[in-house]
Amino acid sequence: MHSGPNHPPPPPYVMLQDQGAPGHYPGPHGRNPPRFNGQYRPNGRRKNTCLRCYCCFYCCFFITLVVIIAAVVISFIIINPRVPEYKINDFSVKAFNLTPDFNLNAHFVITVKAENPNKQISMIYGKGSSVTLLYSGKKLCSGQVPDFTQPTKNTTMINVDLKGELKGSDFGGSLGESLMEKMKSDKIPLTVAVRVPVNAAMGKMHVLKDPMGIYVNCSMVVNNLSQPDKKVGISDTKYNFDFSYKFKH
């Protein structure tokens, strides 16, 4: 269809909006269309939120850890816990009969000096302890530490009865002969092994869930075993102290 002389030809393009008119811009974003899709900003906000959460968590964890460590250090400084001390203070012979065929009947009483130097911690000595007297690793007799509570800043003398019987088949041979020779020289090497479960308390509250084990080995030389009720001289004492976080029988 051809245009008539009174109808000019249509323009080659159609202007939808006047770009030069103020307040009129093409598209929903005007002259500044977004360079990225609409999901970018929400994703960035979620990442920033997670990062802040992680930072807050680690900051709180670090602050809590510092507070706990500081509290423990301050508590140790205030309480100042110290390990009790133990010594063999006395050794008495009640009976010691060693026959020529090496049958042995022995009864001793040893006095253990237990010193608790703590100002705020009392010591609780529980059941299941053992005190053993040995010669060259052979048990001569044994007994137990009585269970009791030792107050703060206290020194207690603990008397322990040690009793034992050995037959010639258990104690014969060179070991029995060696003991007889040592008795003649009045220099008998012995070892006292103490195993005791101990708990600590502040007031009425136990500090430990399970008693810890305290192990004391005292090697010494005595000058008399055959004369009952005569004072026994002790020399060359050496102590070996150890402990474990849980008592082992």
Task: Give the mean pLDDT of 49-76.
Answer: 77
pLDDT, averaged across the chain: 80
pLDDT of 40 reads 47
| Range in 39-53, 147-161, 224-238 with the lowest mean pLDDT | 39-53
pLDDT of 160 reads 95
Q: pLDDT band at 222, cuts 50/70/90?
A: very high
Task: Give the mean pLDDT of 215-243.
Answer: 89
Task: Give the mean pLDDT of 152-175.
Answer: 88
Task: Give the mean pLDDT of 15-24.
Answer: 51
Q: Is the pLDDT assigned to residue 30 strictly greater than 60?
A: no
Task: Give the mean pLDDT of 180-208.
Answer: 89
Question: Is 227 within 8 Å of 236 (Cβ atoms)?
Answer: no
As a whole number of angstroms, the distance between CA 154 and CA 175 comes to 41
pLDDT of 164 reads 92
Q: Is the pLDDT assigned to residue 190 strictly greater than 90?
A: yes
Q: How far is CA 109 from the centre of its chain?
A: 34
Task: Count CB-CB contacts under 10 A for residue 71.
Answer: 10
| Range in 149-163, 165-179, 210-224 with the lowest mean pLDDT | 165-179
Residue by residue, DSSP assigns 105-145 as EEEEEEEEEEEE--SS-EEEE-S--EEEEEETTEEEEEE-P
Task: Give the mean pLDDT of 12-18.
Answer: 53
pLDDT of 28 reads 54
The DSSP H or E segment spanning 130 is strand 130-135
The DSSP H or E segment spanning 45 is helix 40-79
As a whole number of angstroms, the distance between CA 152 and CA 150 comes to 7
Rg, the chain, Cα only: 44
Task: Give the mean pLDDT of 72-79.
Answer: 64
Question: Is 190 within 8 Å of 138 (Cβ atoms)?
Answer: no
Read off the DSSP letter of residue 25: -
